[in-house]
């Protein structure tokens, strides 16, 4: 397991992987109107290499979700650039952006965000179909890689929180996404399950060459990350040392 490298945001592997992974340059984004206007992102630059597992920590309201939103093409910065796998997101039309997102970016949220009526296998099949994947797609290899093949026929209501997260991670990788954006994946899990889920994310990132960005308040799991950065007031900087 790689020890967390406490490095300045963007300094890590910047420049060594141009065109792949995630690259954010001087992103500024303001939210709200008038008196409530807030600079959610204040000149943020960040590089995440393929296979790298980065954690973002920071207080509530510091801009972590806003950063995930621009990295995932769910929002556009007012200025600055976001490049995923060599594609400058601002150059894509709305429609092309949605298609690009589906094919290139995987999302994992707090509770797995699975569709209640679908079995684990069908969750993956649905994403494959939406992403225009192969007609003869077999979800079993991916479910097996997250230790969930034996639960392929179960619906989310029949799975534990950790198992739901595992299916959510497999689903996020269906279309071969090279960028994985993960928001508080351990929020509803106990300590042991939290560690398992984050270990799985670390392994999947390495094995599939996926650039993974995880927002977390859970300091227990940071030891599994390659790099940790802290957000404060919309800016990225050096984190406090991890205990």
CB distance 208 to 173 below 8 Å: yes
Tokens found for residue 232: 């404060």
**Subset of residues 10 to 49 that bind ligand ATP, contact rule: CB under 6 A:** 31-32, 36, 38, 40
Residues 6+ apart with CB under 8 A from 106: 171, 172, 173, 174, 175, 177, 179, 180, 181, 210
Q: How many residues bind ligand ATP (CB under 6 A)?
A: 13
Tokens found for residue 205: 């990132």
Asked if 185 touches ligand ATP (CB under 6 A), the answer is: no
Identity of the residue, 40 or 48, whose beta carbon is nearer to ligand ATP in the bound complex: 40
Tokens found for residue 216: 């977390």
Asked if 63 touches ligand ATP (CB under 6 A), the answer is: yes
- The DSSP line for 47-64 is EE-TT-EEEEE--TTSSH
Q: Please identify which residue in 24, 51, 64, 212 interacts with ligand ATP, judged by CB under 6 A.
A: 64
In the complex, minimum distance from the CB of residue 233 to ligand ATP, in angstroms, rounded to a whole number: 9
Asked if 239 touches ligand ATP (CB under 6 A), the answer is: no
Asked if 61 touches ligand ATP (CB under 6 A), the answer is: yes
Identity of the residue, 64 or 224, whose beta carbon is nearer to ligand ATP in the bound complex: 64
Q: First CA to last CA across the chain, in angstroms?
A: 17
Asked if 205 touches ligand ATP (CB under 6 A), the answer is: no
Binding site for ligand ATP (CB under 6 A): 31-32, 36, 38, 40, 58, 60-66
């Amino acid at each position: 397991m790689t020890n967390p490298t406490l490095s300045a945001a963007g300094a890590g592997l910047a420049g060594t992987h141009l065109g792949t992974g995630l690259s954010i340059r001087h992103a500024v984004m303001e939210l709200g109107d008038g008196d409530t206007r807030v600079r959610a992102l204040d000149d943020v630059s960040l590089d995440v290499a393929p296979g790298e597992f980065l954690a973002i920590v920071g207080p509530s309201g510091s801009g972590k979700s806003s950063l995930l939103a621009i990295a995932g093409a769910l929002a556009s910065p007012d200025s600055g650039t976001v490049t995923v796998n060599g594609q400058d997101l601002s150059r894509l039309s709305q429609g092309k952006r949605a298609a690009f997102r589906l094919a290139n970016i995987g999302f994992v949220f707090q509770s797995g965000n699975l569709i209640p009526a679908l079995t684990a296998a069908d969750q993956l099949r649905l994403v494959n179909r939406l992403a225009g994947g192969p007609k003869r797609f077999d979800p079993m290899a991916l479910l097996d890689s997250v230790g969930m093949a034996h639960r392929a026929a179960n619906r989310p209501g029949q799975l534990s929180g950790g198992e739901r997260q595992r299916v959510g991670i497999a689903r996020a990788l269906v279309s071969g996404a090279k960028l994985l954006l993960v928001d508080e994946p351990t929020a509803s899990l106990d300590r042991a399950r939290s560690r398992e889920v984050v270990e799985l994310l670390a392994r999947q990132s390495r094995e599939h060459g996926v650039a993974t960005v995880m927002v977390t308040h859970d300091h227990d799991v940071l030891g599994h990350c390659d790099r940790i950065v802290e957000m404060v007031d919309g800016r990225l900087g050096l984190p406090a040392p991890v205990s």
